[in-house]
Amino acid sequence: MTEDEIFEGEWQKMLDGQVYAAGMPQFLDKLIETREKVRDYNDLRPSDRRGMDAALRALLGSCGDNVIVNQPFRCDFGENIRIGDNVVVNFNCTVLDEARVTIGNRVLIGPNVSIYTACHPIDAAERSTFDEWAEPVTIGDDVWIGGSATILPGVTIGERSIVGAGSVVTKDVPSDVAVAGNPAKIIKKLK
């Protein structure tokens, strides 16, 4: 088996939520390649809407119509991120997209929001191997995520829900609720 085939197998394990060898040099190469694209995107003039749109589409796995991602934006691989139509992502968003991150239509994401999919072993000896796994994040249509919220691996946020500013979302959020706090809890039903 070639090194490329081994890497492809580890990449697929990552996407499938299995433990994979994140310390392989090819992962670092791919991270650096993405950082170059992210830097190019972040260095564009905000008035260059066409250039920003083209750079965003080259970076992400898929990107709908009328998507605004304010600079700076950061992600690990980009290609594992899917964004729907009519989405606004404010300044300083960070997405660690080892697993798929799916953002629905008409989603508003406040400044300084972090979305994480990467998971690490609790045991220090296991962590030192750089083996890890990832769990996808899904954000439904018409969701509003307040500034400085953190969405942890494996979380699904249901349609039309609101995540309060500064919240840490550790488990799934049903549709039509507002959650807030650390850990985030339902504070209000919206319907």
Using DSSP bridges, classify how beta strands 184-189 and 177-181 pair: parallel, antiparallel or unpaired: antiparallel
Query: What is the C-alpha to C-alpha distance for residues 153 and 175, in angstroms, rounded to an integer?
Result: 18
According to DSSP, the residues that pair with 139 across neighbouring strands are: 103, 157
**Given CA atoms 62, 18, 145, 59 in this order, what sign does their dihedral have?**
negative
Burial 170-180 (b: 16+ CB within 10 A, else e): eeebebebbbb
Active site residue 182: no
Using DSSP bridges, classify how beta strands 144-145 and 93-96 pair: parallel, antiparallel or unpaired: unpaired
Catalytic residue (one of 39, 120, 127, 188): 120
Cα distances from 134 to residues 27, 38, 88, in angstroms, run 14, 21, 25
Residues classed as catalytic: 120
